[in-house]
Amino acid sequence: MKKGSPAAAWLLAMTCAGAAASESTELDYFAELPTVLTVTRLAQPLDETPGAVTLIDRATLRRSGARELADVLRLAPGYLAGGYNGANPTAAYHAPIDDFGIRNLVLVDGRPVYSAYSLGGTARGMMGVLLEDIERVEVLRGSNSAAYGANAMFGVINIVTRNAADTQGAEVAVTRGAGAINDHYARLGWGGAAGSFRLSAGRRSDSGYGGAHDDKAVRQLHLRADLRPAADRELMFSAGAVEFSGGEGFARSVGNPERTADWRNIHFDAQWRRQVAATEALKLTASYDEETLRDAFVHAFDPSVIVSSSGTGRRFNLEFQHQRGLSDRLRVVWGAGYKYEDVVSPPLYHTARPVALHEERLFGNLEWRLHSRWLINAGGFAARHSRTGSYFAPRLMANYLVRPGHALRFGLTGATRTPTLFELAGDVRFYPKNADPLTNPDFWRLAALGRPYRPFESSGQVDAETLRSVEMGYFGHLRDWGMTLDVRLFDERLSRQIVTRTRSAAEVLAGRGVVDFVNAGAFSTSGLEYQLRWKPNDGAELWLNQAFQNTRRNNGEDGPFAPARATTLAWFQKLPQGFDLVAIFQTLGALSWQKRQDALPSRQRLDLRLAKRFLLGNTRAEAAVAVQAANGSQPAHQGDSGFALERRAYASLRFEL
């Protein structure tokens, strides 16, 4: 008796059903696969990085309730969040020697966002990214000029936006609250495995600090494409437009009256990456930024004088990078780059022609596993600046693995900040016609002589600032306790600091500008900071950051100074039923961003956020309420400005489809 046909039919049916449902077989278990996460693709482990790093991920960004990136940086030890007004939030590491954020490098997907335009500030550039689009923020604490060149003097804030493949679908969010807080966000993502796209738009506005003329509105639109033309090739392209308008100035001020400044930026960024072999990769990056500032007012004492800082700045950046493992113990990264910046601003540079600079760059780092316990990073960044000549920023860092989970780090670095175009070539001239000798004797005297009044005239002699730092660090992963500890002991000495010099009355009357820029300042700071992260159980996470530092200045007692002590305690708690509670408490010692008499007293700030996540069909939603400065309003910026960071509550609603 043959049972052939029914069995064969059954089997045929099974096989077809199997094929349709794609049944698993032993081949799934034994098939060989290509290496995807190659060495060159992997981020360095924190115990092997040549410096201290604070990672702030997307979930933390969202859960912190922060509306500005500068606020998030309070979660990095040693960082001071501030801003000369509420419309220009910024942060500085260790040294509050400028309130524009010019001494740390801010990168968005590798694209530097400091302003080429005037003072190299990063506040507006940092606002030109939507928080919802960010995957993580890597804060490299300490000098990183050896890897990133000038500007990476007091660290790098490396903002990595989300891959378009991770933001498929739609998301909308709205936040409303006290202080005219009115934020909107919308995102649409589409595409497949070979290419993904994201279009995101946002608007953010608030009334800034209390008591300040600093209402702010930022509107922006971003497009990002992530393409994979082949398994070993990736192409990222992004473009964006940002429109900012913010209040400036003070009531009853003659030289800086209340007004609104408008700033626009468009940018393009393209990155091509090729995995040549498992231990070799090539990367080519090009970016372009263009910014336009409109900020002008009529001088109160002479209506014929328009005080303006309007103009346009551009930057073009090109970089090639090659990463290669030479052996199991030796890995090299080297690259070359070119940077071009120009500004067209007759009011600031007294010429209608572009004022430009360019820099050719060459960099490299050798990572050498000298011994199973010793890892050496030696590298440097050499550049030729078209106006200030060559510079070299070296770094030598040794990481010693005491035992698994405990590493010590010793390092020496040199860093540089090259002068901004304004510091190099600023030339501001007013031609007073109706000057009143009683209200403005300077104007009047110069007008009488037929000479312009020149508040700024750079002699162009200013050179790069340099920073030498020595550090010792410890990174511990106390696995059984669910704890990581990162300690940094540092001594940082800034020399040839660029400061303003006021020319003598005789020189001014002779037609020279009042203010020049010179390398005359110095600033040094030493201290200790640590970040402790502890997950006592699944639902809770505690961050404790502390920084203790001692600053010294050589340019008199009226310079800025850093807080001797700063503590941030952040508690992230997941609660049942999709609730989430976050409390961030910071206590900051007295500090001054400007002169000693502008010092801010010691302050405490508590921010709270309670959120609830829920599902509406297939839509994920989150509702949240947050209170900033829940413990009460407190002075902001300069002590004598009367500005206050007010207690404000706001609520947000988010839907993700």
Partner 1 sequence: MPRFFRSFALACLVYMTLVLEAAAGPRLWVALAEEGGAHAEAAATLEEELAGAFDLEIGHWRTLFGGRSAAPDLIVAVGVAALDGVLESLGRRDDSWARVPLLATMTPQAVFQARRAAPVIGPRQFSAALIDQPFARQLALIRLALPQHRRVGVLAGPQTRPFLGALEKEGLARGLGLYASRPVGAADEIYPALRGALDESDVILALPDPLIYNSASLQNILLATYRARTPLVAFSPAYVRAGATLALYSTPAQLARGAAAMVRQWHAGRSLPPAQKPREFEVAVNARVAASLNLSIEPPAALAAELRRLEGRP
Footprint of partner 1 (CB under 8 A): 1-4, 6-8, 10-11, 14-15, 18, 21-26, 28-37, 39, 41-48, 57, 135-136, 163, 165-166, 168-169, 192-193, 231, 404-405, 477, 479-480, 482, 484, 535, 538, 618, 620
List, in sequence order, every beta strand (DSSP E) within 207-350: 216-230, 233-248, 259-277, 280-294, 296-298, 306-308, 311-325, 330-344
| Nearer CB in complex with partner 1: 482/511 | 482
**435 Cβ partners below 8 Å, 6+ apart?**
301, 302, 443, 444, 447
Q: What angle do CA 55, 60, 63 make, to 5 degrees?
A: 165
Amino acid at position 14, single letter: M
Distance CA 85, CA 210 (A): 10
d(CA 569, CA 549): 18
Q: Which tokens hold the place of 570?
A: 């952040």
3-state secondary structure at position 340: strand
Measured from the CB atom, is 503 or 535 closer to partner 1?
Answer: 535
In whole angstroms, the minimum distance from the beta carbon of 13 to partner 1 comes to: 10
Sheet with 52-57, strands from edge to edge, namely 52-57, 134-141, 156-161, 105-108, 111-112
Structural Rg of the chain based on CA atoms = 27
- Rounded CA-CA distance 643/637 in Å is 7
CB of 185 to partner 1, least distance (A): 17
Q: How many CA atoms lie within 13 A of 253 on its CB side?
A: 13
In whole angstroms, the minimum distance from the beta carbon of 655 to partner 1 comes to: 14
> For residues 42 and 251, which CB has a smaller minimum distance to partner 1 in the complex?
42
Q: How far is the CB of 133 from partner 1 (least distance, A)?
A: 14
As measured in angstroms, the least distance from the Cβ of 3 to partner 1 is: 5
Please give the backbone phi and psi of residue 421, each rounded to the nearest 5 degrees, phi first. -60, -35
Give me the least distance between CB of 267 and partner 1, in Å please: 23
CB of 239 to partner 1, least distance (A): 21
How far apart, in Å, are the Cα atoms of 249 and each of 99, 559, 600? Answer: 15, 22, 19
Nearer to partner 1, 45 or 255 (CB): 45
Nearer to partner 1, 171 or 359 (CB): 171
Question: Which CB atom, from 34 or from 450, has the smaller least distance to partner 1?
Answer: 34
Q: How far apart are the first and last CA of the chain?
A: 60
Longest C-alpha distance within the chain, in Å? 125
With respect to partner 1, which residue has the nearer C-beta, 30 or 556? Answer: 30
Nearer to partner 1, 90 or 484 (CB): 484
CA distances from 381 to 190, 214, 378, 648 (A): 39, 39, 11, 45
User: Minimal distance in Å, beta carbon 146 to partner 1?
Assistant: 22
Task: State in angstroms the smallest separation of the CB of 639 from partner 1.
Answer: 41
**Separation between Cα atoms, residue 276 and residue 335, nearest integer Å:** 16
Query: Which residue, 32 or 557, is less far from partner 1 as judged by CB?
Result: 32
Nearer to partner 1, 495 or 619 (CB): 619
Q: How far is CA 509 from CA 127, 302, 450, 455, in A?
A: 42, 19, 11, 12
For residues 107 and 407, which CB has a smaller minimum distance to partner 1 in the complex? 407
Residue 4 C-beta: closest distance to partner 1, Å: 5
Cα torsion for 622, 623, 628, 632, to the nearest 10°? -150
Report, in Å, the least distance between residue 105 CB and partner 1: 23
